Amino acid sequence: MNTLFKKYFLLIFLCPFCGSLSAQQNAEQEANLKAAFIYNFTKYIDWGSYEHGNDFIIAVAGESPITQSLQEIARTSRVDDKIMIIKKVARPSDIDDCNILFITKECRYPLDFLLKKAGPGVLTISEEDGFAERGTAFNFVILNDRLKFEANLKAISSAGLKAGAQLLKLAIIVD
């Protein structure tokens, strides 16, 4: 009885940490996880000469609970000792001088336009199947109920960035 209880307890308890996204889990949890992933990406990306400004800016294109989640992280964490600023992309000009551009599913702008606008020095992250192939650096996918990410090496290098090996070994590489 006791061990059975423990097993179930462990199963339920461990699920969020396994990155498993069962049907019951709501979008908020998914958003939290994605936000954490985005924050963790910053640790493995070398912005090189594009590291400018006093703040670390993450621009979110489109309405998404991720904005909320990122703001939660920004309250307690910093990137390279810089304050994290999360801003919604209201106008295309908002993309200027950001470090990360996160393109949500709800984004109204066409992808090609956003990629062009982002230019070098901006890490583009998306969450739509096939976006990595179309040119975003990282793209979230769900595989076997787990959150994974694709990486487009060309996109990363053409943006003038370098991704750490530790990060890339976990990524699904696409062309």
Partner 1 sequence: MIKLNDISIRNKLILMQVFTSVVVFGIVFGVFIITDISSYKQRKADSMISLAQVIGTNSISSIQFQDPESATEILQELHTVAPEIIHAAITNDEGEIFANYSKSGLDSFKIPAYILRNRSSVFTEHQLFVANPIVSNNKVIGKVYLEVQLTELQQIKEYKYKIAIVLLLVALVFSFLIALLIQSYISKRLLKLVKTMKNVRKTGEFSKPVNDTGKDEIGTLTKAYNLLMEEIEESQRKKDEFIGIASHELKTPLTSIKGYVEMLNLMEDDPTKKQFVGKALGNINKLESLVKDLLDVSKIQSGQLQLNMNEFNMDELIDEAIAASQVNTGTHQIIREDHPGNEIIYGDKQRIEQVLLNLLSNAIKYSPGESKVIVDTKKNEKEFIIKIKDNGIGVPAEEQLEIFERFYRTKDISIHISGFGLGLYICRDIINRHYGRIWVESTGKGSIFYFTLPLKHTLSTQQTEV
For binding to partner 1 (CB under 8 A), which residues are involved?
10, 13-14, 17-19, 33, 36-37, 40, 43-44, 146-149, 164, 166-167, 169-170
Q: State the minimum distance, in angstroms, from the CB of residue 40 to partner 1.
A: 4
**Which residue, 54 or 144, is less far from partner 1 as judged by CB?**
144
Q: Smallest distance from the beta carbon of 119 to partner 1, in angstroms?
A: 27
Full DSSP string of 24-59:
TS-HHHHHHHHHHHHHHHHHHEE-GGG--SSEEEEE
Kindly state the DSSP code that residue 129 receives in the 8-state scheme. T
Tokens 């976990």: give the residue. 170
Q: Which is nearer to partner 1, 52 or 169 (CB)?
A: 169
List, in sequence order, the alpha helices (H) in the chain. 2-18, 27-44, 65-76, 111-118, 131-134, 153-158, 165-168
Cβ closest to partner 1, residue 29 vs residue 158 = 29
Minimum CB distance to partner 1, residue 171 (Å):
9
Q: How many angstroms separate the CA atoms of 19 and 33, rounded?
A: 8
CB of 14 to partner 1, least distance (A): 6
